[in-house]
Chains A and B, each alone.
Chain A
Amino acid sequence: MGDEPLLEVRDLVVEVDTGKTVLPVIDGVSFILAKGRTLGIVGESGCGKSMTALAVMQLLPPGFRIASGEIRFCGEDLARVGERRLRALRGNDMSMIFQEPMTSLNPVYTVGDQIGETLRLHQRLGAAAARQRTIELLRSVHIPAAERRVDDYPHQLSGGMRQRVMIAMALACRPKLIIADEPTTALDVTVQAQIFRLLEELREETGTAIILITHDVGAVAEMADEVAVFYAGKRAEFGPVDTVLSRAAHPYTRGLMASTPRLRLGPAAAGAEPALKEIAGVVPPLGEFEPGCRFSPRCPLADLRCRDVPPPEETVDRDHSALCWKTGLELVA
């Protein structure tokens, strides 16, 4: 890594108040993101990956709050700064792309109005300058006939085009950080490939750092430099993407990769498909975790200690660590 951290999240705990009881949805998560890098956060539904994104943006839904920990963005602790400062940061220095572009765009305003608003508010551009810049932004995300499309309403655009508009909006103020929460999940595969290429291209041009939140290990392999694997509100594994994907240390990461069907093309396509490895069982409901490792009820390697004693953060390699008692043991499934 080497570069100074742009974002540093340390021991983040986010709790939800259900009315009856207070439960931690994120439990002591840490990670570092350097300038211009892409961090993938991967995990199954309910693992806390989206909540982490919302905590960084300070946009947690009602009932959720940051109980402890630090979120340092360019040296400022976001958990401590006021709403006024946050509003200046959001949109300007950090922005977010959501999964469903249709619900995150306002249907009664044109695309130009919505991107222009960001520019007028944050960059104090006049109407004409904002429009000009909006057209440039639409061009930069490869929207054809941008000078006409700028006056379109969201419903006049296809799903892929809408997501391009969302990306243009997120990029409007040249932020230092973009958080993309499942940005291609609602899109078709050929369009997904276009959007990933676009994000890659824009990152090279602008030096924006990206946090990519996804359930898809393939998307992480495609886009990320570093990866954090989340399980049940904990960071199970963290490291450079190549290292983690080729030498996963946490049994959960290995299980996740083994259960992902892989395309076998050309000569590799011949012969019967091997059965997929399963991860037995399901993620336990919030608040019903084992006292020890939360993955232990589903882990083929778990023993008594795993169930009873929380696992340590084991360093596997220089930048590669896993929250596991059995790191390094071969998985015997």
Chain B
Amino acid sequence: MSADSLLRVRDLAVHFPAGHRNGRRLFVHAVDGVSFDVKRGTTFGIVGESGSGKSTTAQAVMRLVEITAGEIELGGVPLSKLKDEALRSERSRFQMIFQDPFSSLDPRRRAGAAVRQTLDLLGVGDLKRRDETVAEMLTAVGLHPSAARLYPHQFSGGQRQRLCIARALASQPELVVCDEPVSALDVAIQAQILNLLRRLQREQFLTYLFISHDLAVVQNICDEVAVMYLGEFVEKAPTDAIFGGARHPYTWSLMAAALSPEPREGRRPDRFIVAGEPPSPIDPPAGCRFSGRCPFATERCHREKPALRELAPGHQVACHYAETLDCPIPALRQAA
């Protein structure tokens, strides 16, 4: 672990109770032993499908769900151990942007008041200066200061997400957790928001934990990427390394399934499509969790769980056969 990491997560597990079966208590293994560091001023992306545990990881970092095991440290402060007032006093340092800018704003609260509320609740800055701060925040995200008087329904989806970003940044946080921040937006607006997040990061030296199901978006904004499947990281590497030479079959399946707006000439007719859907996170498979869908799986994969191990500096893969598998994606084969 390098000294300049702002967020440090170790062996994080989040299990939710899921009733009983045959007298035994069941748990949803939403997150099951995840570790990562996020360096200051960089963006760490977690990509995966629904049920992978990526959003639960984000919520655990935000201390919005109860942590079953593991440690979370923000700039040396053990977030996972803090309670009540001690936790509240740290809140201004880490803030969140949600997927749906419609349901994450109070419809009866004016835009300015929504941003100001963050300042008031967290007691940030001089009382007299707070209205000025609100105006500055709105300007920073590309809204006119006069928009402070408007209600959320008077904004478009993209403007509402800008407002949510202004609200998140008002307390001058070091870490911003972005949970699918552009998924609910139209493409043209997605580009505006992604570019805005990049600009704000440059200007304010922000650190992002960025959750997304969209590989192209993740490649666009992240410095390092973890691919999550059924509560675990299956691959983790710097962005260039993972898109240049991914080694986990699940990562390959995500890359092959991503649609490209290129004309058809460049399409692969025999592309790599895995069958089935992720199994239930209650009672996950004993061996490799992807083994049930993996076309390369052997008997060993069903039995023995592969550890996340380092293939190249910073590039970790959880697959018994990571070195030897023949990659089904032509572009990735060229790199090897």
How many whole Å from B275's CB to the nearest CB in chain A? 7
Q: A245-B263, A276-B220 known; A190 and B188 CB under 8 Å?
A: no
| Cα separation A251 to B203 with both chains bound (whole Å) | 31
Type the 1/0 row for A125-163, where 1 means its CB is closer than 8 Å to any CB of B.
000000000000000000000000000000000111100
From B20-28, B191-199, B315-323, the one touching the partner chain is B191-199
Type the 1/0 row for B295-336, where 1 means its CB is closer than 8 Å to any CB of A.
000000000000000000000000000000000011111110
From B58-66, B74-82, B115-123, B240-248, the one touching the partner chain is B240-248
Contact B335 A277 (CB under 8 A): no
Chain A residues 274 to 330 lying within 8 A of chain B, measured CB to CB, are: 275-279, 282-283
In the complex, which range does the number of interface residues on chain A fall in? 35 or more
Contact A221 B264 (CB under 8 A): yes
A-chain residues with CB within 8 Å of residue B159 when the two chains form the complex: 282
Q: A217-B261, A269-B240, A278-B188 known; A263 and B219 CB under 8 Å?
A: yes
A-chain residues with CB within 8 Å of residue B258 when the two chains form the complex: 189, 218, 263
Q: Choose one: A190, A257, A260, A265; the contact of B257 (CB below 8 Å).
A: A190
| Cα separation A193 to B256 with both chains bound (whole Å) | 9
Does chain B have a CB within 8 A of A45?
A: yes
Q: Choose one: B191, B253, B275; the contact of A279 (CB below 8 Å).
A: B191
Q: Choose one: A45, A246, A265; the contact of B331 (CB below 8 Å).
A: A265
Contact A266 B50 (CB under 8 A): no
Does chain B have a CB within 8 A of A262?
A: yes
Chain A residues 157 to 201 lying within 8 A of chain B, measured CB to CB, are: 158-161, 188-194, 197
Chain B residues 105 to 146 lying within 8 A of chain A, measured CB to CB, are: none
Contact B262 A265 (CB under 8 A): no
Contact B257 A275 (CB under 8 A): no
Does chain A have a CB within 8 A of B73?
A: no
Contact B263 A246 (CB under 8 A): yes
A-chain residues with CB within 8 Å of residue B195 when the two chains form the complex: 275-276, 278
How many whole Å from B43's CB to the nearest CB in chain A? 11
Q: A194-B273, A215-B187, A276-B195 known; A262 and B263 CB under 8 Å?
A: no
Chain B residues 151 to 205 lying within 8 A of chain A, measured CB to CB, are: 156-159, 186-192, 194-195, 198
A-chain residues with CB within 8 Å of residue B69 when the two chains form the complex: none
Does chain A have a CB within 8 A of B288?
A: no
Does chain A have a CB within 8 A of B282?
A: no
Q: A242-B264, A256-B187, A266-B333 known; A276 and B194 CB under 8 Å?
A: yes
Type the 1/0 row for A252-270, where 1 means its CB is closer than 8 Å to any CB of B.
0001110111111111111
Contact A193 B273 (CB under 8 A): yes
Contact A190 B254 (CB under 8 A): yes
Contact A263 B261 (CB under 8 A): no
Q: A189-B49, A262-B216, A277-B191 known; A219 and B186 CB under 8 Å?
A: no
| Cα separation A222 to B244 with both chains bound (whole Å) | 23
Which of A216, A220, A266, A279 has the most chain B CB atoms inside 10 A of its CB?
A266
How many whole Å from B141's CB to the nearest CB in chain A? 14
Q: Which B positions have Cβ atoms within 8 angstroms of A?
A: 49-50, 156-159, 186-192, 194-195, 198, 213-217, 219-221, 239-240, 243-245, 253-265, 267, 271, 273-275, 277, 329-335
Contact sample, A vs B, 23 pairs, CB 8 Å cutoff: A44-B186, A44-B189, A45-B186, A188-B277, A192-B257, A221-B263, A241-B263, A242-B264, A245-B263, A245-B264, A256-B188, A257-B261, A259-B187, A259-B191, A260-B216, A261-B219, A262-B262, A266-B333, A269-B219, A269-B335, A277-B191, A279-B191, A282-B156
**Contacts A267-B334, A271-B240 supplied; 18 other A-B pairs, CB < 8 Å:** A160-B277, A190-B274, A193-B257, A215-B187, A218-B261, A221-B262, A245-B261, A245-B262, A257-B261, A262-B216, A262-B261, A266-B244, A266-B329, A267-B331, A269-B244, A273-B219, A275-B198, A278-B188
